[in-house]
């Protein structure tokens, strides 16, 4: 069975190091720039924030990133363990993760 793991990390160079480590271990994911609802609404009410490739190319990211993995169930524990290790259990890099079953999955990822 396929599993989806959602990972949110506070943007930093350390977050990119975690992504590099995961890639080197054979994991692939979709990475999306994100920010908290509070910050988006309260601090920048007139502005619209869009993510572009420059953020990844230059490792410029001040907010958070949402990383979505789709993995086989037998790879989920390894994926979580790598994330826990790289983030020092979310102490060194703030964030969280959760996983869900993909019961009606179609595709080639």
- Helix, coil or strand: residue 56: helix
Exposure b/e, 46-55, CB count within 10 A at least 16 = b? eeeeeeeeeb
> Which architecture does CATH list for 2-102?
2-Layer Sandwich (3.30)
Contact indicator for 29, 68 with CB cutoff of 8 Å:
yes
- pLDDT for 83-93, tens place per residue? 999 999 999 99
Residue ranges of the chain with pLDDT lower than 50?
51-53, 55-56, 59-61
Round to whole Å and give the CA distance between 27 and 65: 16
Give the closest residue to 75 by CA, choosing from 9, 10, 29, 16.
29
């Amino acid at each position: 069975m396929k599993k989806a793991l959602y990972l949110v990390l506070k943007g930093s160079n350390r977050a990119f190091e975690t992504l590099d480590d995961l890639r080197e271990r054979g994991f692939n994911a979709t990475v999306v720039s994100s920010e908290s609802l509070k910050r988006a609404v309260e601090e920048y009410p007139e502005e619209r924030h869009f993510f572009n490739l420059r953020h990844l190319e230059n490792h410029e990211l001040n907010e958070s990133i949402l990383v979505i993995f789709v993995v086989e169930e037998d790879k989920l524990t390894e994926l979580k363990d790598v994330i826990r290790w790289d983030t020092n259990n979310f102490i060194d890099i703030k964030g969280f993760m959760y996983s869900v079953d993909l019961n009606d999955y179609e595709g080639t990822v």
